[in-house]
A = this chain, B = another copy of it.
Amino acid sequence: MVSLHSQGLADLIAGTDIFYSLFCGAAIFLMQCGFAMLCAGSVRQKNVKNIMLKNILDACGGALGYWAVGFGVAYESGTFMGTSGGRFFLHDYGNYIDFFFQFTFAATAATIVAGTVAERCKMVAYLCYSLFLTGFVYPIVVHAIWSSDGFLSAFNPDPVRGVGMIDFAGSGVVHMTGGATALVAAIVLGPRIGRFYDEEGNLLDKPHTFPAHSVALQVLGTFILWFGWYGFNPGSTLAISPAGYGDVAALCAVTTTLSAAAGAVSAMFTDTLLGFIAEGEAEYDLTMCMNGCLGGLVGITAGCSVVEPWASVIIGLISGIVYVGASKLLVLLKIDDAVDAIPVHFANGMWGCIAAGLFAAPRHTALAYGTAEYGLFYGKWALIVNQILGVGFICLWVAGVMTPFFIGLNFLGMFRVDPLEEKVGLDISHHKGAAYNLDVADADDVNELHMSKHGKGETFNDA
């Protein structure tokens, strides 16, 4: 009797944990849709097909690249990276849901870049990059910070300074990696024509902002991303059955919510305040609100499982300000980010890692990580040191690998589209025509229809 129970319980535990990762992974996968909508909404109408194609292809390329190589590089044994083992091509690895869940993170890291380089990056460059990122660059970061062999990993049997780096769901691993790549790419690629310089290369009096072609798509994307984050953060427990895991997941759901809300509010009102000081007029900027919300989500991602709810509100409030500041800094530096992904993912990814080192509370680090270390504001230094090291490592690694990669692509003429193609837009140049066709019916036909139906000889325009 007891042994039957044992078996029934063990089966149920196995099934429930798989179900949990299936739900969370699916929600994270939907973030691909969120990114696609957000990016597409943010660009000009003439590049919508191009950016969406990139968004789909990096999900697809990410799946194939991560299956073939990346998953093994990330989680097989090895000092710097996994080099052999059953995870490569999943040829001898039975924990399928683990691959599925991890793939969704890799795809997220890859797709962050699409928006930044939108409207001027060649498709072939994007394909090369996204395979390189999901197959190699990102997995190395995962290996260092999340695998049991990682030199900074909290899951290393003997973690550095007794705790390793706390990056629960990837403010650093995912968002900084994607965001740092975007930053390097934006610098090498240069700004869009007409953003800071005119067609002849003369500096504009002030930077030109290209209006988003569809705010509706941006909002749709933002909400879908927020929803997906409920898979991203709580799901990073990787299981729900062990003692306390549910509590950790629940805390993640709450801190994620509060930080997102605080980020949205703080970014919007910061912008309103700055505008009021400069122009004497209070306006409410929807884009600021949305990106602040996303900034708050990125900012809580590292520490979602270890900070108190009140701390998540503070983290979110600061995230909003970090976003606004980083966005303005980029403009000052004449770095053109078509969707402001660098301020959202890179700057707030960095802030998220630091924030976890500041606010991590003893009772939560004990539960989520089984460590006696915690954040600076509670009195310990070890964690914040690790967090800063982690931030530095990601910056150096990504910049070190991606800079020559993009410079190489650029040198080979494979990175940036022809200026005329850029002016016309990539949809007509490379994708068989525009993304929308809003032609309406011929007015004569409409009148004929209405006359025929009503038989009263009145025309549509009269009605």
Number of copies of this chain in the oligomer? 3
Count class of interface residues, chain A:
35 or more
Select one of B2, B55, B281, B436 contacting A213, CB under 8 A: B436
Stretch at the interface among A169-177, A200-208, A244-252, A379-387: A244-252
Whether A8 sits at the interface, judged by CB under 8 Å, is yes
User: Cβ of A97: which chain B residues have Cβ within 8 Å of it?
Assistant: 246, 249-250, 253-254
The answer to whether residues A5 and B2 also contact, given A240-B18, A441-B428 and a CB cut-off of 8 A, is yes
Q: CA separation between A59 and B257, bound complex, in Å?
A: 10
Could you tell me if A438 and B437 are in contact, using CB atoms closer than 8 angstroms?
no
Could you tell me if A19 and B100 are in contact, using CB atoms closer than 8 angstroms?
no
Where chain A touches its partner, the secondary structure class is helix
Could you tell me if B30 and A431 are in contact, using CB atoms closer than 8 angstroms?
no
User: Cβ of A13: which chain B residues have Cβ within 8 Å of it?
Assistant: 8, 12
Chain A residues 27 to 82 lying within 8 A of chain B, measured CB to CB, are: 27, 29-30, 32-33, 36-37, 40-41, 44-46, 48-49, 52-53, 55-57, 59-64, 67
Could you tell me if A247 and B18 are in contact, using CB atoms closer than 8 angstroms?
yes
Could you tell me if A89 and B310 are in contact, using CB atoms closer than 8 angstroms?
yes
The answer to whether residues A56 and B18 also contact, given A211-B433, A223-B33 and a CB cut-off of 8 A, is no
User: Cβ of A429: which chain B residues have Cβ within 8 Å of it?
Assistant: 449
Q: CA separation between A400 and B128, bound complex, in Å?
A: 50
The answer to whether residues A23 and B23 also contact, given A36-B223, A424-B446 and a CB cut-off of 8 A, is yes
Whether A398 sits at the interface, judged by CB under 8 Å, is no
Whether A241 sits at the interface, judged by CB under 8 Å, is yes
Could you tell me if B452 and A420 are in contact, using CB atoms closer than 8 angstroms?
yes
Stretch at the interface among A149-157, A260-268, A325-333, A340-348: A260-268
Q: CA separation between A103 and B254, bound complex, in Å?
A: 10
Whether A295 sits at the interface, judged by CB under 8 Å, is no
The answer to whether residues A241 and B211 also contact, given A48-B216, A261-B59, A441-B46 and a CB cut-off of 8 A, is no
Could you tell me if B15 and A242 are in contact, using CB atoms closer than 8 angstroms?
yes
The answer to whether residues A52 and B428 also contact, given A19-B246, A100-B250, A253-B100 and a CB cut-off of 8 A, is no
Whether A138 sits at the interface, judged by CB under 8 Å, is no
Could you tell me if A241 and B445 are in contact, using CB atoms closer than 8 angstroms?
no
Whether A377 sits at the interface, judged by CB under 8 Å, is no
Chain B: which residue is nearest A16 at the CB level? B16
Could you tell me if A214 and B283 are in contact, using CB atoms closer than 8 angstroms?
no
The answer to whether residues A283 and B250 also contact, given A9-B8, A26-B27 and a CB cut-off of 8 A, is no
User: Cβ of A12: which chain B residues have Cβ within 8 Å of it?
Assistant: 9, 12-13, 16, 241
The distance from the CB of A318 to the nearest CB of chain B, in whole angstroms, is: 15
Q: A254-296, CB under 8 A of B: which get 1 and which 0? A: 1001101110110010000000000001011110011001000
Q: CA separation between A418 and B130, bound complex, in Å?
A: 50
Could you tell me if A290 and B440 are in contact, using CB atoms closer than 8 angstroms?
no
The distance from the CB of A33 to the nearest CB of chain B, in whole angstroms, is: 3
Whether A423 sits at the interface, judged by CB under 8 Å, is yes
Could you tell me if B15 and A241 are in contact, using CB atoms closer than 8 angstroms?
yes
Whether A178 sits at the interface, judged by CB under 8 Å, is no
Whether A407 sits at the interface, judged by CB under 8 Å, is no
Could you tell me if B46 and A249 are in contact, using CB atoms closer than 8 angstroms?
no
Chain B: which residue is nearest A282 at the CB level? B430
Select one of B15, B30, B40, B433 contacting A246, CB under 8 A: B15
Could you tell me if B442 and A423 are in contact, using CB atoms closer than 8 angstroms?
yes
User: Cβ of A260: which chain B residues have Cβ within 8 Å of it?
Assistant: 60, 63
The distance from the CB of A383 to the nearest CB of chain B, in whole angstroms, is: 22
Could you tell me if A45 and B437 are in contact, using CB atoms closer than 8 angstroms?
yes
Q: A141-184, CB under 8 A of B: which get 1 and which 0? A: 00000000000000000000000000000000000000000000
The answer to whether residues A219 and B284 also contact, given A293-B60, A309-B90, A449-B429 and a CB cut-off of 8 A, is no
Could you tell me if A431 and B283 are in contact, using CB atoms closer than 8 angstroms?
yes
Whether A319 sits at the interface, judged by CB under 8 Å, is no
Could you tell me if B19 and A240 are in contact, using CB atoms closer than 8 angstroms?
yes
Return 13 A-B CB contacts under 8 Å, by A number: A9-B12, A11-B241, A11-B243, A15-B16, A16-B19, A19-B240, A60-B265, A60-B293, A61-B265, A67-B258, A100-B253, A213-B438, A284-B431
Given contacts A52-B286, A429-B449, 15 further A-B contacts (CB under 8 A): A1-B2, A5-B5, A12-B13, A15-B16, A18-B247, A26-B253, A56-B223, A56-B293, A60-B261, A67-B313, A96-B250, A214-B216, A216-B436, A285-B431, A423-B445
